[in-house]
Amino acid sequence: MASSDKTINTDVPEKDVFAIHFLQSLSNLTTQNPFNSPDTTNYRARKIKKAAYVSMAKAAGGSSRLWSRALLGRAAKENNKIVRFARRKRKVTWKISSKRRSDQRAPEATDRLRNLVPGGGTMETSKLMEETAHYIKCLSMQVKVMQCLVDGLSPK
Amino acid sequence: MLEGLVCQESLDMSVLERLKWLQQQQHQLQHVVSQSSNNSPELLQQILQLHGSNNDELLQGGFSQFQMIGSGFGPNYNMGYVPSHEAMDGCISRTSSCQMDPVDAMDVLLKNGEEDKPISLKNKRKAEVKTREEEKTEKKIKVEAETESSMKGKPNMRNTEASSKETLKEVSEIPKLDYIHVRARRGQATDRHSLAERARREKISKKMKYLQDIVPGCNKVTGKAGMLDEIINYVQCLQRQVEFLSMKLAVLNPELELAMEDASVKQFQAYFTNVVGSSKHSIMVDVPLFPLDQQGSLDLSAINPNQATSIEAPSASWETQSQSHYNTSSLGFQY
């Protein structure tokens, strides 16, 4: 499943890994269901969606990708649990320092992308592109897994 | 029918088609149709097997088989959309620098399609142009690579001549530790900042090209803005798909009472692996996977010795992977 470029590495683990994590999170969900929460379809759908994202982040690289870290951090915050990863050493190049100086950036074309990709707010554009590529691959894998599940569960 | 669908979808994977597919899905959600999904399993397998080594485990790992199982939402969008998406992915992501391989793959894939000849010709022409361009820019890439490799903290680049005579960018010296001797192009500034800026821009455009290979349908749009739009659209589409599928799962969930029973847990493994209908080996597999406390107790001792005989390759890999990942994935929260 590896499609590695010369300099860019965006390997994504196989479908099995995603499937395992997703099923795990789903079973966690069902065992954790409190009796005071409304059991409507919307509520359950939202829970499943959150579980899907978190399982995808775990499966796709844990803490080795910026977007997965941001996703997991966000989910942990919603749960009122603080999870902090070991901070990777960031090389502060002169580019980054010059960006910090200019507070008002003209509305860039990449702003929308930053909003979509988790953790994209404070990344260099080249890094954003890498993260987007990996994110897209993981998302499509997650979609496939969920599709498999839905197809299997749907009444025959 | 199927081939036409595959050809069409793999070529025109634009936003409109995706939206149409989404709408189709939503319609189908309303009325669950029970069809027999044995339309053309051989053909599907054939198509899926053409993708080569990249997505082998993915596709042959039960995805195609799995499409056979699920008939609730019709084989149309299943086999039309997703494998063609796979096709694009497999074809294009296989090569990074040379465009020749996708041509062959596309040729084989579209062997029955009507658009066979013009598409293959177009791709070959593209490939030729690409190779010619690559020869020209080869030196430039070399320079870039050397530039990147030596740019650690500060980019230290020195120019030998602020020349307007040169039209090609050449490497005039083998780079030393920190210095790259570059001849600037005609009419371009040669101070340090703009050179660094140019290198940065080239890095970004290289990554955009890589993204272009991943996102289907991005080849038609040129220019950074258009490609960005396509990419953003694609990401939004994928996110919407996830939301939609989670809604579907939520609908299906209470009716089937998922993870509380052993039988359904074992079925899950069958969904993702190759074998359909035989749950013996999968029992062996799900034991390390789901050691959670469930109402229906998993009898580990009873199950284990019986199923030790034949473990097939996919389930074995599943098991080892699941063990390793289950051990390492411990971030300690409830999802």
The chain B residue lying nearest A1, using CA atoms, is B54
Between chains, do B72 and A154 touch, taking CB under 8 Å as contact? yes
Q: What pLDDT, on the 0 to 100 scale, is given for residue A57?
A: 83
Q: How close, in Å, is residue B137 to chain A by CA atoms?
A: 16
Q: What is the pTM of this model?
A: 0.50
| C-alpha distances in Å from residue B209, one per residue of A112, A116, B227, B228 | 19, 20, 9, 11
Q: What pLDDT, on the 0 to 100 scale, is given for residue B77?
A: 43
> What gap in Å lies between CA A76 and CA A88, rounded to an integer?
19
Q: What residues of B are in contact with residue A145 (Cβ under 8 Å)?
A: 272
Of A45, A58, A136, nearest to B329 by CB-CB distance is: A58
Q: What pLDDT, on the 0 to 100 scale, is given for residue B145?
A: 46
Neighbouring residues of B274: CB distance < 8 A, sequence distance ≥ 6? B60, B61, B62, B65, B312, B314
Going through chain B in order, the beta strands assigned E by DSSP cover: 157-159, 180-182
> What gap in Å lies between CA A121 and CA B84, rounded to an integer?
33
Question: Which of the given ranges, A46-60, A74-88, B208-222, B233-247, has the highest pLDDT on average?
Answer: B233-247
Is the pLDDT reported for residue A36 higher than 70? no
- Fold (topology level) of B192-268: MYOD Basic-Helix-Loop-Helix Domain, subunit B (4.10.280)
Phi and psi angles of residue B146, each rounded to the nearest 5 degrees, phi first: -70, -35
Per-residue pLDDT reduced to its tens digit, B61-115: 444 444 444 444 444 444 444 444 444 444 444 444 444 444 444 444 444 444 4
Per-residue pLDDT band at B329 (split at 50, 70, 90): very low
Per-residue pLDDT reduced to its tens digit, B210-269: 888 888 878 777 778 888 888 888 899 999 999 998 888 888 776 555 544 444 555 566
Q: What pLDDT, on the 0 to 100 scale, is given for residue B290?
A: 42
- Whether residue B221 lies within 8 A of chain A, CB to CB, comes out as no
Q: What pLDDT, on the 0 to 100 scale, is given for residue A60?
A: 77
Q: Rounded mean pLDDT of A83-90?
A: 60
* CB-side neighbour CA atoms (13 Å) of B239: 15
Q: What pLDDT, on the 0 to 100 scale, is given for residue B321?
A: 46
Q: What residues of A are in contact with residue B89 (Cβ under 8 Å)?
A: 140
| C-alpha distances in Å from residue B42, one per residue of B45, B70, B144, B250, B271 | 5, 16, 48, 33, 19
Q: What pLDDT, on the 0 to 100 scale, is given for residue B267?
A: 59
Domain boundaries of chain B, sorted by first residue: 192-268
Query: Which site among B256, B275, B285, B335 would you substitute to test the A interface, given the most A Cβ atoms closer than 10 Å to its Cβ?
Result: B335
Between chains, do B289 and A20 touch, taking CB under 8 Å as contact? yes
Range 126-145 of A in CB contact (< 8 A) with B: 126, 129-130, 132-133, 135-137, 139-140, 142-145
B163 by DSSP, 3-state: which? coil
> Which residues are B182's β-sheet partners?
B159, B171
B181 by DSSP, 3-state: which? strand
| C-alpha distances in Å from residue A51, one per residue of A60, A151, B246 | 14, 19, 9
| C-alpha distances in Å from residue B39, one per residue of A15, B36, B61, B67, B68 | 25, 7, 20, 11, 9
Q: What residues of B are in contact with residue A110 (Cβ under 8 Å)?
A: 228
Per-residue pLDDT reduced to its tens digit, B115-146: 444 444 444 444 444 444 444 444 444 444 44
Between chains, do B93 and A3 touch, taking CB under 8 Å as contact? yes
Q: What pLDDT, on the 0 to 100 scale, is given for residue B191?
A: 84
Q: What residues of A are in contact with residue B271 (Cβ under 8 Å)?
A: 19, 148-149, 151-152
Tally Cβ neighbours within 10 Å of residue B189.
Answer: 13
Tally Cβ neighbours within 10 Å of residue B18.
Answer: 22
Between chains, do B204 and A51 touch, taking CB under 8 Å as contact? no
| C-alpha distances in Å from residue B9, one per residue of B214, B242, B309 | 16, 20, 44
B133 by DSSP, 3-state: which? helix
Q: How close, in Å, is residue A25 to chain B by CA atoms?
A: 5
Between chains, do A58 and B225 touch, taking CB under 8 Å as contact? no
Q: Rounded mean pLDDT of B184-188?
A: 66
Assembly ipTM: 0.82
Per-residue pLDDT reduced to its tens digit, B285-316: 443 444 434 443 333 333 333 333 333 344 44
- Whether residue B275 lies within 8 A of chain A, CB to CB, comes out as no
Q: What is the CA radius of gyration of chain A?
A: 18
Range 23-42 of A in CB contact (< 8 A) with B: 23-32, 39, 41-42
Of A91, A116, A148, nearest to B272 by CB-CB distance is: A148
